[in-house]
Structure 1
């Protein structure tokens, strides 16, 4: 078990390093100058003195070679210091911390909603004995995957906000303002959970232990809930861990659609003016959430199936 945990920790650190490095060099390859972009975005009134721009480039280290910048910033990041925002001058960690509660609030509603609805759909497809009904239920995830999240959000706003005025369309307006963005954010995750779990449930229903349980008199509901669900949930659990880590990235689109002040808005504003420290901080934070959740899933796996821990790696699901 110790070897298994160390292997997963090493992978997590590798993902964080790769995310930071890839983001840094992609941003470094962008045309233009972050300091000039800041001045041209209306954040400074009137013409800017070229000498002042040179001073800002020196202050933020943009006058140094790219590799020197990378080593310097990586060393600071290892100490938890991602520098200051080019546009506001505030520490990146404070900028993220101020926006984080709104995004976490949205994710905390969207993830349970996605898991509950996806599990319910998969269980209904596995429970029904009607082939046509099962086929209809199994086709819903494929349909949901084809619908872009931003389009779903716009349709929800159009019908539930503008037409029947049931929920507020935009902004951070209390619990009611969470409903539409949470549903929009949850839908892509829900259909993937339903698709993976339904396939696993239907496969597990044909296993010999299921026939044995039925021969002993266990009903379909008991077999499904007490025998099949635990074994079939392993692939879906992996999907949930991945989707939970992706919620931060998906929130960039959803929060802009619904004009919410969260990490999505911070990311969009930072990319617009090439605020490299903020973009890197958000990307690393998203990667950190991703690897921590997947590490948690990896550690739960052996508890559900001890056979997984064999050589320090997860056996194929």
Structure 2
């Protein structure tokens, strides 16, 4: 009998159809255009919002330089107006700003006389460390409460639901003040002024993570409750798998998908919340930069911070798309 040797070509992985590649390219291009549009809109809104605030920018700059509030003559203000281009029409100033935006130039700080990218770049890392740490802690808390209370009896389910609803309703500034008074003043376990040390990171992280954990926990709870009633879970139990194994190996993957989708929004919200938290704890970051910039009407810096926050939103949602695809095999197949 003659052995039949399979054609090597038949053993290769099928090529991805050309239409699928084209569709993926169009989708990527659409996302890129959308991201640029979001950043442009955010920068423009922040720029115009600061411009339209009552008061004179040149006066604010001179007051900052001189360290005191006073009135100035038109002759005294003229050099400052010329230096920063305030003597041009608003539309020209805005177009000049957008031109720099496309070159990666967000302008020069009115008060620090440095490129805005340098001013923000020096403070963005502490803020990202804070927000990413808070997101991780929020997920750990949300998963722990959901896994330990969903379908564990009426009492535990009730306690879990109340805990999640309560924490989700807490404002960041309230949580921050309570933690600061209790764990830094009454019981001095942590420093009052966070600084940049590891011990100073604990309270700011908890301040951001606790409210978010309640919100994520509510979403995970609803989905986990539905998933645990699905036939594939019943089948896994009949095969002798323990309740813990069923929850971790089968139910959890499906239950977290809606919460993963919301994580992009959550990370952006945490960056916004970090502005408040950094000021409460005296922690370095873009929150302190924004607070100073708003008080001194440093328009380029304010707009730059808004662009950074918008960029975090965009990047976070892109990462969520990738994570969603990794978790859900159906999306990988498509």
For residues 49-64 of structure 1, what are the structure 2 equivalents within 5 Å?
A: 50-64=74-88
Alignment of 1:120-269 (within 5 A): 120-126=144-150, 128-172=151-195, 174-269=197-292
* Structure 2: tracts of 5 or more residues without a match: 1-23
Deviations 1:236-280 (A, max 9, x none): 111222211222211110011111221101001101111100001
Match of 1:299 in 2: 322
Q: CA deviation at 1:20?
A: 1.5
Q: How far is 1:171 from its partner? A: 3.8
The answer on 1:92 being equivalent to 2:144 is: no
Q: Which has the larger radius of gyration?
A: 2
2:27 corresponds to: 4
1:46 and 1:217 map into 2 onto residues whose CA distance is 76
Could you tell me which residue of structure 2 aligns to residue 290 of structure 1? 313
Where structure 1 has 5 or more consecutive residues not aligned to the other structure, the ranges are 312-317
The alignment partner of 1:274 has SS state of coil
1:276-297 CA-to-partner distances (Å, cap 9, x unmatched) read 0000111101111110111111
- CA 1:146–1:300: 2 relative to 1, 3 Å: closer
The answer to whether the Cα contact below 8 Å between 1:9 and 1:295 also exists between their aligned partners in 2 is no
The answer on whether the counterparts of 1:12 and 1:295 sit within 8 Å (CA) in structure 2 is: no
Aligned equivalent of 2:107, options 54, 71, 83: 83
Q: Aligned residue for 1:315?
A: none
- RMSD of aligned alpha carbons: 2.1
Separation in structure 1 between the aligned mates of residue 74 and residue 115 of structure 2, nearest angstrom = 25
Q: Cα–Cα, structure 1 residues 46 and 116, in superposed 2: closer, same or farther, change >3 Å?
A: closer
TM superposition shift of 1:74:
0.6
Q: TM-score, normalised by structure 2?
A: 0.86
Q: Is 1:111 aligned to 2:111, yes or no? A: no
Q: Per the alignment, in what secondary structure is the counterpart of residue 105 of structure 2?
A: coil
SS of the equivalent of 1:30 reads coil
